[in-house]
Amino acid sequence: MLKKVIIVEDDVFLQDFYRIFFKRFGAEVLIMEDVDEILHELHSGNVDLIILDINLRNMMLFSKRIDGIMLSQHIKKNYAHLKVPILLVTAYPLNGFGDPLLEKSMADDYLLKPIADYNKLVEKINKLVFGQNER
């Protein structure tokens, strides 16, 4: 059962989409844009998934502006023991650059915006959180 999902997304419409989408799973959705709050919530140990936009406008870590790739990398390096899967979301076509993006960010998977195929999102969540392979 999916309990808690952190959504790092600055688009208000997508925030609403995620709230509605994860209500279906009965999951608590935390919309966050502050790195300190995100890391504090990770320390709670109750986070099942992070959905992270790559293009973030106002994220700061150690007084330096960062994007979703850098935040993902920081979480994976410093909080690896928590084993929280990260799904990157981007509006930019990757044109075959998905693997290097995942390698650099250390994220577990990625998805392109706009999210038009909800089944694909469900499959990725099942794979990341529950270990169920895509069909």
Instruction: Encode the chain (135 residues) as per-residue pLDDT tens digits.
Output: 789 999 999 889 999 999 999 998 899 999 999 999 999 999 887 899 999 999 887 888 999 999 999 999 999 999 999 999 999 998 876 655 556 878 899 999 999 888 888 899 999 999 999 887 644
CB 8 within 8 Å of CB 56? yes
What span, in angstroms and rounded, lies between the C-alpha atoms of 27 and 24?
A: 8
Residue 27: what pLDDT? 92
CB 56 within 8 Å of CB 71? yes
CB 111 within 8 Å of CB 87? yes
Q: pTM score > 0.85 for this model?
A: yes
CA dist 2 → 19, 47, 122 (Å): 13, 9, 12
Domains of the chain: 4-130 (3.40.50.2300)
CB 8 within 8 Å of CB 32? yes
